[in-house]
Amino acid sequence: MNSKPRQRVAVAVVGWVGSLMLFLPIGFMALKSFQTEVVAAAPTPALVFSPTLDNYADAVQAGIGPYIVNSLVVLVASTLVVLVLAVPAAYALSIRPVVKSQDTLFFFISTKMMPIAAGIIPIYVVASNLGLLNTITVLVIMHIGMNLPLAIWMIRSFMQEIPGEVLEAAAIDGASGGRAMRSIILPLVRPGLASTALLCAVFSWNEYFFAVNLTTSTSTLPLFLQKFLSFGELYTAHVAAVATLVSLPVVVAGWMAQKSLVRGLLFGAVK
């Protein structure tokens, strides 16, 4: 955009400094995860220290295992159900649209705008009556509800981009709805499905509100982290270790999918 060398340097500096400032707390966190609590609590940040894996070992000792399993189960189950429900719904909102498809679409997104707190008491009471409190099941159900509207919007925007001629050609060739879905639509939107699934997985993995309100001991990783609050002042290095451990898979997935995620997040609203 600008050819003057001085401007180019300025842009590079802004780009690097800004990016590094955003990344700094994460890098700092990863660094502290290898320090002892005493080193991590020094008023002057230690850059040179003898690294230790004790914090990670302590996390395993403190019983992170079951929480990891629970988080994975909730993530996989809820994301799979979301895809199974969202793909046909997105089809009915784009390729063979129902009457008032636009209103239905806005109904779905409106559910994401409403305060979750306004519904949590009945959800708690009903879950309690059904014996679902402190179970993985209730989290799976809530995560499906949380991610479904988003998934429908994203998948719809990917289906919207399939050229009409392709679908017409399939119809002329006598492909039924189900057939066209299997052999034409699904292959074409597969990258979109992948980025939708990834985003749903990230939100499920990170979800805290339902976990803290509906579960106690049988729960997901965010609740495991809460345990460190009882450690008093000196918990930084332990939190850093667990935080690094649980953030790593999501961060790596996000790094790899950054391009396609953006396209999905635009919801097909803007190109």
Partner 1 sequence: MSAVAEAPLSRTEAPGRAPRSARTLSRRERWQRRGPLLPALVFTLILTQIPFVLTIWYSLQRWNLLSGGRKGFNRGSNFVDAFNDPIFWRSAVNTVLIAGVASVASIVIGLLLAMALNSTFPGRGIARTLAITPFFAMPVAVTLFWRSAMFDPTFGLFGFISRSVGLPSVAWLSDYPLVALIILLTWRFAPFALLIMLAGLQSVPQDQVEAAEVDGAGVLLRFRYILLPHLRPFIELAALLLAMNLIQTFGEIALLTAGGPAYGTTNITYYIYLRAFSAFDFGSASALGVVSLVLTIALVLPALRLLSGIFQAEGRR
Subset of residues 213 to 252 that bind partner 1, contact rule: CB under 8 A: 213, 221-222, 225-226, 228-229, 233, 235-236, 239-240, 242-243, 246-247, 250-251
108 and 149 in contact (C-beta within 8 Å)?
yes
50 or 255: whose CB is closer to partner 1?
A: 255
Residues 6+ apart with CB under 8 A from 219: 67, 70, 134, 139, 211
Is residue 18 involved in binding partner 1 (CB under 8 A)? yes
Q: Which two tokens stand for residue 137?
A: 């099941």
Position 172 contacts partner 1 (CB under 8 A): no
Question: To the nearest whole angstrom, how small is the minimum distance from the Cβ of residue 25 to partner 1?
Answer: 6
Q: How many residues bind partner 1 (CB under 8 A)?
A: 110
Interface with partner 1, residue 191, by CB under 8 A: no
- Under the criterion CB under 8 A, does residue 25 sit at the interface with partner 1? yes
DSSP string, 205-225: HH--HHHHHH-SSS--HHHHH
Using CB under 8 A as the binding rule, whether residue 165 contacts partner 1 is answered as no
Q: Is residue 47 helix, strand or coil?
A: coil
138 is a contact residue toward partner 1 (CB under 8 A): no
DSSP letter at 97?
A: P
Restricting to residues 65-124, name those near partner 1 by CB under 8 A.
85-86, 88-89, 91-99, 101-124
CB within 8 Å of 96: residues ≥ 6 apart: 177
CA–chain centroid gap for 57, Å, is: 27
| Distance in Å, CB of 19 to partner 1, minimum | 4
Q: CA–CA separation, 125 vs 128, rounded Å?
A: 5
Least spacing, CB of residue 137 vs partner 1, in Å = 13
Confirm or reject binding of residue 139 to partner 1 (CB under 8 A): no
